[in-house]
Amino acid sequence: MPLWLAVVLLILTGAGLALCRRYLRGNKTACILCTLFCVLLALACAVVVHLFCFVLHSAAHGLPKLLPNPWVRAFLGGCVVVVFTLLYGSMRYNGAGVNIIAAAVEQGQALPWDWIVKILLTALTLSSGFKGGEVVPSFFVGATFGCVAAPLLGIPAGFGAALGLAGVFCGASNCVVASLVLAIELFGAQGLWYFAIVCGITYALSGYAGLYHSQLFLTDKLEPEYRIIRGHNHY
């Protein structure tokens, strides 16, 4: 990890502790337990990041080989999405899904299969040739997964959705500082300590196969040394 990033994370962590000092004084045991649960949630988010990138990259390479004709690929891919939507009876997974993200964060409501269905449909849509992004789907996947997984660890569902959103986006994009700033802008700085834990661990364990193949890493994620590493798809 470069020195500047370590300094930034140290400053952000100190700020988070300062903001939470009243809570820390009165509820030390609860804070320690919540920190440990956040570590477990971060480990789970790292696994989700690997799954997300694996499905996206596998579909992007495999479907064009299976259906070389781009017109046929787009037609059949679109048909699959339409048929799934009709059979499911809802457009819950169509579009950006901002309402689902908001429900997960604000109300703590998400279906257990939301995140995996979104991964599959996003991979199918992009690999079929339709234009779209991966950032908002990563928000959707992270928020719904965090909302479902957090209560199993004793973390409130809404807060877990916020942690999952920041963690999965951080691991998939490999942008630690941007993820922390995003978390502060969206959810405030009161939980900065926990966001820093989740983003830091997810980033360290997400490897180098993020969403973008052209991404360059100037340092090793786990070793204190400078060396240029190009983002790659090792799946």
Please state, in angstroms and rounded to a whole number, the distance separating the CA atoms of residues 62 and 177: 33
pTM: 0.81
Cα separations in angstroms, 171 against 13, 198, 212, 228: 19, 10, 12, 19
* Rounded distance between C-alpha atoms, residue 61 and residue 65, angstroms: 7
Cα–Cα distance, 161 to 166 (Å, whole number): 9
From first to last of its 235 residues, the chain has per-residue pLDDT tens of 454 555 555 565 555 555 555 544 555 555 677 778 888 899 999 999 999 989 998 998 899 999 999 999 999 999 999 999 999 988 999 988 999 999 999 999 999 999 999 999 999 999 998 888 888 999 999 999 999 999 988 889 999 999 999 999 999 988 888 999 999 999 988 888 889 999 989 988 887 777 777 676 666 666 666 666 655 555 5
Domains and CATH numbers, the chain: 3-230 (1.10.3080.10)
With residue 119 as reference, give the H or E element that holds it: helix 114-127
| Phi, psi for 215 (deg, rounded to 5) | -70, 140
